[in-house]
Structure 1
């Protein structure tokens, strides 16, 4: 039996319409720096390795954080295309996304205070295998771009609050003189 994404979409839409108080989902991740600039991130039952290429001080054993941003955007676009293609009745056999982002490293390394440390632009191509008309394909693209969570996160400011907690007990033990 073929999986029906439209059933998932309409079922979720109906449930959220009738119980809006259940609409807010919280996602979480916990990361811990390992050797050098390698990091390990836990989310649900998954562990994700993060690193840096050798040119940025790493060992090139895993994608870096900004590469994960591109991966998140690409995969979110693909998922959102799949869901909305089925919901709108637009035939799509497959979706793929190719993305590139440019960062001016002078921002990261504080060479020029006027340059931001993050992406200055992201550009890419979404390729769909579809018999849909050009009008239907454009309608699908417009709908996906309006409802893709990661695209929204990147295009619109999101309030972020990061608190610093210092483990003084560990610092005190290493600073203690015997």
Structure 2
């Protein structure tokens, strides 16, 4: 841990408590956000709450939308409504079966549609710069899995 972090560094903290495979996570900060996590019965859960893998894929889509909003302001374009479809293919042989290998997703595919007034060239810049600057996209891309994304521009 850096003793003198840069002024641009924002620490994100969580506190979690649980039993079995269920957990309650309290997000650090003054807002008091709390969310619950469980998993599918195949992994020992009751499927009473979303699994951590569902949250991670949700983090991917929401982080893209947040980052794109920042990038769009810099590019001078307006964004409207978004839709995302994301799929993560997980081979459970390592996690559940104990096999050797990487427990990561094998592949993640993102399909995004966004309403915007950007022209084709600016829309391509929006996508590229968003994916470059999105921390969650970078976690996926740098993890070694097969990552693909297809963004579609819709009229605003």
TM normalised by structure 2 equals 0.80
SS at match of 1:21: coil
Structure 2: 5+ residue stretches without partners = 144-156
Matched, 1:33 2:23: no
Give RMSD over aligned pairs: 1.7
Residues 65-76 of structure 1 aligned to structure 2 (within 5 Å): 65-76=52-63
Q: Structure 1: how far apart are the matches of 2:127 and 2:111?
A: 11
Q: Is the 8 A contact 1:97 1:126 kept in 2?
A: yes
Structure with more contact order per residue of length (Cα contacts < 8 Å, sep ≥ 6): 2
**Structure 1 unaligned spans of 5+:** 1-19, 158-178
Q: Is the 8 A contact 1:31 1:42 kept in 2?
A: yes
Which of the residues 149, 153, 156 maps onto 2:139?
153
Instruction: Name the structure where helix makes up a greater proportion of residues.
Output: 1
2:130 is paired with a residue of what secondary structure? helix
Contact 1:81 1:95 in 2 (8 A): no
Alignment partners' CA distance in 1, 2:85 and 2:103: 22
| Equivalences, count | 136
Moved over 6 A (4+): none
Bigger proportion of residues as strand? 2
User: Shift of residue 134 of structure 1?
Assistant: 1.2
1:62-141 to structure 2, matched below 5 A, reads 62-114=49-101, 116-141=102-127
Moved more, 137-146 or 93-102: 93-102
After superposition, the C-alpha distances for 1:52-76 in whole angstroms (9 at most, x for unaligned) are 1223221111111111110111100
Larger Rg computed on CA atoms:
1
TM-score w.r.t. structure 1 length?
0.70
1:22 lines up with 2:14 in the alignment: no
